[in-house]
Structure 1
Amino acid sequence: MTVYRYQAVDAAGRSLQGVVEAGNEAGARGLVRDLGLLPTSVRVQSGPGAAPTGLRLTGWGKSVTSRSLAAATRQLSTMIGSDIRIDEAVRIVGHEHESSPIGAVLKDVAASITEGRSFASALERHPRVFPEFYRASIAAGEQSGHLADVLAHLTEFVASKERASRKVQLALLYPALLAVVSAMMITLLLVYVVPDIVKVFVSRGAALPLLTRALIALSGGVQTFGLPLLILAGAAGIFFNRWLADPANALKFARFRLNTPPMRGFVRQLNAARFAGSLATLVRSDVPVVDAIRAAAAVTPNIYVRERAMVAAQRVREGTSLRRALSEAEVFPRMLLAVVASGEHSGRLATGLERAALDLEQDLEALVSAMVALVEPAVLLVMGGIVLLMVLAILMPIVNLNNLAGL
């Protein structure tokens, strides 16, 4: 994709300028016309003003979401299943989504198809919008003549990923807000409230309980070292991100997360479900097994699992059975391996993988629900316990002073 700077006039005759992202000059002019403008000059923009390819679209500044991709895929499946030409279907769906970033992407895809490209090769111009498994499925659907069915499978897959992600995000929103607000309140108490109370205790010369002395020490530490510690934490985060930028370090960390409690079960389940679901869709779309494994590996979040799946694909290319290759990877659950073995033996690998993917997704959903259900009370207990200790630390000296006054 190339960034083009345009000059145009609107219906009122006013001169406007801006930038769009398109595959060629003709596509850029078409995008400008779709904005209701008449282009007078369109030229390539280079240098620091250029936008990143495929991920974001100049003019909207927003990324393509899974929800909009699923909606567009469902509409394409319906229209192509109704014998509408591919380029026309893509163009119509692009107009339906003209207010979202994917609309401009689909218009460019339609322009590429009109120029003589295949649907799959047109999608390859936007690799960050259309994942590898998505493009591989489309290519297989075009070759086999079952493009509408492939799009239907892709719709369900993308939509299920969107539902799962949104469910987790919404469930964790309240605990996250609660933790942030509570942490801010505790910090403000330590910095502004506790010191004033300490002055009262010191002026009375009262003997302070251990809990109160600990609170005073913590308050002094926050006031003295709070900002340096915050800077140190930021520097540590930057250093860790740079450390992860090295592929070897990122692979080590991914393997650590895959094999270390308490997140080991969740990470393995998530990656197995994503891999099995993608592989089922690709095999159902008649994609060759080796290519299907590689494309499905690209969907897995953990790069160590991805690397082991790529090794399994190479083993299958060398003649090893799929079940044995996945078993040697040592990153997939036994249930998935048993289903793969049964599918290879019966010749119904796609059906078996779909059932395994469904079972893994259900187990993953139950695991996520349990984790989310525990997060909220855990946050409440931790923050409530901290606040309780602070209140006790403040009240205990006050009670002692009242007792002394009564004597």
Structure 2
Amino acid sequence: MAGWRYQAVDASGRALTGMVEATSETAARAMVRDLGLLPTQVSAQPRAGTKAPGLSLPGFGGRVSARSLAAATRQLSTMIGSDIRIEEAVRIVGQEHENQPIGPILMEVASSIVEGQSFAAALERHPRVFPEYFRASIAAGEQSGRLSEVLAHLTDFVAAREKAGRKIQLALLYPALLAGVSLLMITLLLVYVVPDIVKVFVSRGAALPLLTRALIGLSGAVQSFGLPLLVFMALLGFGWNRWLAVPANARAFARFRLNTPPFRGFTRQLNAARFAGSLATLVRSDVPLVDALRAAAAVTPNAYVRERALYATQRVREGASLRRALSEAEVFPRMLLAVVASGEQSGRLGPGLERAAADLEQDLEQLVTALVALVEPAVLLVMGGVVLLMVLAILMPIINLNNLAGL
């Protein structure tokens, strides 16, 4: 079925817009009338996940952000907790976000629910928008009759995860901008400033110091081979991405980052925090442990950690305790293993995992802060040192010329 955007008026004459899913324009108009509205215009819209003709710029539309998912989840939790029917709540939230990528998707979900599908089954049609842990939690909430509580847990988790990701991005933004601007300035100096200064030195016939000759050579290399070098780097990046597209290569590189300094500490902390947070949300939502482990593994960023978490899932399915299974995976910190062992003994695995996830996230934030505090001065020192060498390479011949003139 296709998506149809409608413009309609209600009984009070208020103008409304929205999306419905139907096989034809006639069926779409009938669905709008069933909502108690009078359709004034109905037009076909591309389905979510398909591309309309024209340009599609990366990062500008078409991709549901974590912030949009968190906002939609919070609104659904509020309305379903207020005893509003699921399909009506999803439709209202979809209309609220109609100008964002998630809006049409929620309208499709609402149409699927009206057709008789469960909420979880409707979400299954959009796996790239709703992660596996999200869909598994919704399914468990529907089965247990605690959907509003599950949505409340999901709201907190999605919002916390989005906030943590945004903090990391913002923390690394300044060093990246600083390095990029510094490289651009150095390149411009080498291409446009150094050649003019070289002409002055050559015309005077002065003997040039080693540092100046090295700078002239570097400037010539940038002018002669700069564009081919950029093309080579682009091809190298493309080849690297194709190499990583092979699952075995991706796992090997993920294992390298997990076990090799300086990536080891950050990679282990990040993956442990994501895994523990997802597993805590699923366990608190009464998802069966094996299903919860599989869903939590699916959203773990590192491919090797994901593989070992799936191994732990298989061990739990075979009858092993969760603590033993995670210990055999050999990728999770001892603190998490101790919390899991305590939670299994006390029967409070969910709250224990939540506390462990909070501690891991706090440690991760402190680690990111420390890394940024080291990266910023390192970038300043490196770039400042390069600029200083360039200035010295230019000034040394000028000083020598002045000395010769004085003699």
Normalising by structure 1, we get a TM-score of: 0.88
CA distance 1:129–1:23, shift in 2 (3 Å): farther
Alignment-derived partner of residue 281 in structure 1:
281
Alignment-derived partner of residue 312 in structure 2:
312
Does 2:196 match 1:196?
A: yes
Supply the RMSD in Å over aligned alpha carbons. Answer: 2.8
Given that 1:3 and 1:51 are in contact with CA atoms closer than 8 Å, whether structure 2 keeps it comes out as no
1:123, 1:274 → 2: CA distance? 22
Alignment-derived partner of residue 122 in structure 1:
122
2:369, 2:6 → 1: CA distance? 52
1:31, 1:294 → 2: CA distance? 42
Alignment-derived partner of residue 16 in structure 1:
none
CA distance 1:104–1:233, shift in 2 (3 Å): same
Matches within 5 A, 1:138-287: 138-287=138-287
Residue 220 of structure 1 and its aligned partner are, at CA, apart by: 1.4
One-letter amino acid matched to 2:268:
R
CA distance 1:21–1:202, shift in 2 (3 Å): farther
Given that 2:77 and 2:151 are in contact with CA atoms closer than 8 Å, whether structure 1 keeps it comes out as yes
Residue 162 of structure 1 and its aligned partner are, at CA, apart by: 1.1
Given that 1:3 and 1:50 are in contact with CA atoms closer than 8 Å, whether structure 2 keeps it comes out as no
CA distance 1:300–1:21, shift in 2 (3 Å): farther
1:191-211 deviations in Å (ceiling 9; x for gaps): 121111112112222121111
Matches within 5 A, 1:4-403: 24-25=22-23, 29=28, 38-39=41-42, 50-51=50-51, 61-403=61-403
Residue 51 of structure 1 and its aligned partner are, at CA, apart by: 3.3
Given that 2:283 and 2:292 are in contact with CA atoms closer than 8 Å, whether structure 1 keeps it comes out as yes
Count of aligned positions? 386
1:207, 1:31 → 2: CA distance? 88
The runs of 5 or more residues in structure 2 that have no matched partner are: 10-17
One-letter amino acid matched to 2:374:
L
1:363, 1:39 → 2: CA distance? 52
1:242, 1:398 → 2: CA distance? 50
One-letter amino acid matched to 1:189:
L
One-letter amino acid matched to 2:123:
L
Given that 1:76 and 1:93 are in contact with CA atoms closer than 8 Å, whether structure 2 keeps it comes out as yes
The runs of 5 or more residues in structure 1 that have no matched partner are: 12-19
2:71, 2:267 → 1: CA distance? 28
Normalising by structure 2, we get a TM-score of: 0.88
1:398, 1:182 → 2: CA distance? 25
Given that 1:32 and 1:39 are in contact with CA atoms closer than 8 Å, whether structure 2 keeps it comes out as no
One-letter amino acid matched to 1:148:
S
Residue 91 of structure 1 and its aligned partner are, at CA, apart by: 1.5
1:114-147 deviations in Å (ceiling 9; x for gaps): 1111111111111111100000000101111111
2:326, 2:373 → 1: CA distance? 33
1:333-355 deviations in Å (ceiling 9; x for gaps): 01101111111111111111111
Q: Percent identity?
A: 74
